[in-house]
Structure 1
Amino acid sequence: MIRINDLSKEYKTKKGLVMGVDRVNLTIAEGEVFGIVGYSGAGKSSLLRCINLLERPTSGQIEVNGRDLTKLKREELRKARLKIGMIFQHFYLISQKTVAENIAFALKAANTPGEKMTSRVNELLEMVGLTDKKDVYPAQLSGGQKQRVGIARALANNPSLLLCDEATSALDPNTTLSILRLLKKINRELNITIVLITHEMNVVKEICDRMAVMQDGRVVEEGSVYEIFSNPKAELTKEFISSVLSFEVPQAILAKVTGSIVKVMFKGEVAGEGVISDMVQHFDVRGNFLHGSIEYIQEVPLGLFLMEIQGQPDNITRAVSYMEGRGAQVEVIQNGH
């Protein structure tokens, strides 16, 4: 369990004080994957680095597993940090050391005995799928393999919390997906709480249970990933989600539309039902799809469709009411000519 209470972080610059994190309050449950989303300068990296006190907050509290890290003495904080792993965007591996030696470096910091160190390194290599790279140097690895070493190193001391600082931003899409699946596997099998920051909504959609959206150092929206994707409130959140779920239809196509244009959303199991086909059969209307897809967020379907409905106004009204009665959210974008 992580509690962030009224947390602020100020930076002194030549132009004066800059508020990097501005009175943030968050609660992150044990065992969940929590995403923090925002553009550059939103304060998400500062917030993440405050969680393990790599950056000391100006004010506020950081509680991890019931302990306020801001009140710990130096040695107590060092021990607490051993249970907080961190994965970085640019890997930060030691180029002169082998893969095994890079992982062992974290174990040495915890004064792990030599015989335990060897077996733990081998265990971690198997966990991240790099058993055959044990004696290889970082320069001989791909970006995805380097990040797997970083993950193994972060897991070395059996942390209860894993912080991911843009962990996939330097990777191609396929490699990103494999790393996210590895992180989700680690989360499920080891019950490790994961907090990750990103500016990519596809990352959040793939792995996170809950999320917060940051702007100018503040949290502007927070909630379950599914609910935020299906019903975003803040304008910034809507902007982020449009990068994944786009309803843009060329103006030339819209100009030819003579019927009513409706946006239809189906949540959960309703997304797999034939609501639209049933609607067309029950009422004297014709449907024409302009845009549509079914996305899966945490394996739960979310159906999104933009369609033209042609017919008499009363029939269109009844058709819309029918879809709403079947569990759809319907918004009339444009009435027929």
Structure 2
Amino acid sequence: MIEIKSVTKEYKTKKGTVKGVDNVSLEIDQGEIFGIVGYSGAGKSSLLRCINLMEKPTSGEIFVDGVNLVKLNASKLRKSRQKIGMIFQHFYLATSKTVFDNVYFALKAAGKSKTESQKKVLDLLELVGLADKAQHYPSQLSGGQKQRVGIARALANDPKVLLCDEATSALDPSTTQAILKLLKDINEKLGLTIVLITHEMEVVKEICDRMAVMEEGKVIELGSVYQLFAQPKENLTKEFIDGVMQFKLPQALVGKCKGTIVKIHFRGRIAEESVVSDVLKGFNVRANILHGKIEYIKEVPLGVFIMELKGTSDEVERVLTYLNDKAVGVEVMTSDN
């Protein structure tokens, strides 16, 4: 659905030329929810705005549904953009217009008839759960409700692609979950391709199929969300993952441990099996579980446990070999970690 070919976006500053996007190539499939992750200044927003040519790439090509947007004249580009909806972090609603009129404006701008547009607005407000708020003004809405208006507006012209620019960053955790559920429902019901930029790994874990990690304008790691959570390769990706799968032991607890401390990573259905129990039964060691967690990513479990193993060095080594055979990996931690 979306193909980004060798895209570079440069900005002129007083200090010289800065590359916001540096030779990025990506393919995003039809119906996929794709996350672009990075810290502020990584280039993710610049890349997102290049997709609908809000920012024209300095070089490279952008294909959406087989059409090279970079090659279009202004008139054809405006028409193609109608099939690319966009929602923003700060909503950008017209404060003097009602909820109905904020959504209606997008249809009016596209030249749709009044009768057709009015029915469409009501259908969209029903879809996003705001049918009873049609005559309210933005000042009367919560942050989550404002974002729902933004989503309805973005869907007004039946887009094939929905771009989300930090769509949940201004929302509280419970409202974020509700908006993510709405986006997933829209993705399933309408078959939309969704591209979502964020610095929140909880958001990516909850909704995305695949993700790209950006740093200094480049994509440094790319893969399925599960793959990157289970086996991140780049330090930045590991840093992001640690924010969700954080396992810091109190130093006082570590100081009391006399055995070997290991961190065990379980992937897939093995995370639901009795591996730890089998260690206790099958080996001449004592195991003390210090920390543990199982996350579900797209309904597939990913587990991390930290254990203290007490026994002879040979028997501990046997346990490590067994765990390596069963688990994604075993990391032996020193006592001062």
Q: Could you state the TM-score of these two structures normalised by the residue count of structure 2? A: 0.98
Match of 2:212 in 1: 212
Aligned-residue offset at 1:253: 1.4
Match of 1:264 in 2: 264
1:266-325 deviation line (CA, Å, top 9, x unaligned)? 111111111101111011111111211000111111011111111111111112222233
Are 2:64 and 1:67 equivalent residues in the alignment?
no
Aligned partners of 1:335, 1:10: CA distance in 2, in Å? 48
**Code of the aligned partner of 1:61:** E
Aligned partners of 1:153, 1:222: CA distance in 2, in Å? 31
Match of 2:145 in 1: 145
Map 1:156-171 to 2 at 5 A.
156-171=156-171
Q: Is the 8 A contact 1:7 1:57 kept in 2?
A: yes
**Code of the aligned partner of 2:195:** V
Aligned to 1:332, the other structure's residue is in SS state: strand
1:208-258 deviation line (CA, Å, top 9, x unaligned)? 000011111111111100010111111111111111111211222111111
- In structure 2, relative to structure 1, the CA distance for the partners of 1:171 and 1:335 (3 Å cut) is closer
Aligned partners of 1:127, 1:91: CA distance in 2, in Å? 18
Aligned to 1:22, the other structure's residue is in SS state: strand
Aligned partners of 2:85, 2:78: CA distance in 1, in Å? 12
1:189-224 deviation line (CA, Å, top 9, x unaligned)? 111000011011111011000001111111111110
Aligned-residue offset at 1:334: 3.1
Q: Is the 8 A contact 1:161 1:194 kept in 2?
A: yes
Aligned partners of 2:44, 2:329: CA distance in 1, in Å? 32
Q: Is the 8 A contact 1:125 1:134 kept in 2?
A: yes
Match of 1:303 in 2: 303
Aligned-residue offset at 1:328: 4.3
Match of 2:321 in 1: 321
**Code of the aligned partner of 1:258:** K
Map 1:44-59 to 2 at 5 A.
44-59=44-59
Aligned partners of 1:324, 1:335: CA distance in 2, in Å? 21
**Code of the aligned partner of 2:86:** M
Aligned partners of 2:24, 2:329: CA distance in 1, in Å? 32
Match of 2:236 in 1: 236
Aligned partners of 2:283, 2:189: CA distance in 1, in Å? 50
Aligned to 1:61, the other structure's residue is in SS state: strand
Aligned to 1:320, the other structure's residue is in SS state: helix
Aligned partners of 1:251, 1:113: CA distance in 2, in Å? 67
Q: Is the 8 A contact 2:10 2:19 kept in 1?
A: yes
Aligned partners of 1:275, 1:323: CA distance in 2, in Å? 8
Q: Is the 8 A contact 1:212 1:219 kept in 2?
A: yes
**Code of the aligned partner of 1:192:** L
Map 1:66-105 to 2 at 5 A.
66-105=66-105
Aligned partners of 1:288, 1:70: CA distance in 2, in Å? 60
Structure 2 unaligned blocks of 5 or more: none
1:52-91 deviation line (CA, Å, top 9, x unaligned)? 0000010000011111100011111001000000000000
**Code of the aligned partner of 1:51:** I
Aligned partners of 1:213, 1:20: CA distance in 2, in Å? 14
Aligned-residue offset at 1:327: 4.0
Aligned to 1:237, the other structure's residue is in SS state: helix
1:105-141 deviation line (CA, Å, top 9, x unaligned)? 1111111111111111111011100011011011000
Aligned partners of 1:149, 1:202: CA distance in 2, in Å? 23
Q: Could you state the TM-score of these two structures normalised by the residue count of structure 1? A: 0.98
Q: CA RMSD in A?
A: 1.2
Aligned partners of 2:288, 2:197: CA distance in 1, in Å? 40
Structure 1 unaligned blocks of 5 or more: none
Q: Is the 8 A contact 1:270 1:328 kept in 2?
A: no
Match of 2:312 in 1: 312
Match of 2:25 in 1: 25
Aligned to 1:158, the other structure's residue is in SS state: coil
Are 2:9 and 1:12 equivalent residues in the alignment?
no
Aligned partners of 1:41, 1:334: CA distance in 2, in Å? 36
Percent identity for Structure 1 against Structure 2: 62
Aligned-residue offset at 1:335: 7.8
Aligned to 2:310, the other structure's residue is in SS state: strand
Aligned-residue offset at 1:263: 1.0
Aligned to 1:97, the other structure's residue is in SS state: coil
1:135-169 deviation line (CA, Å, top 9, x unaligned)? 10110000000000000000111100000000001
Q: Is the 8 A contact 1:263 1:333 kept in 2?
A: yes
Q: Is the 8 A contact 1:83 1:159 kept in 2?
A: yes
Q: Which moved more, 1:248-257 or 1:231-240?
A: 248-257
Aligned partners of 1:142, 1:287: CA distance in 2, in Å? 50
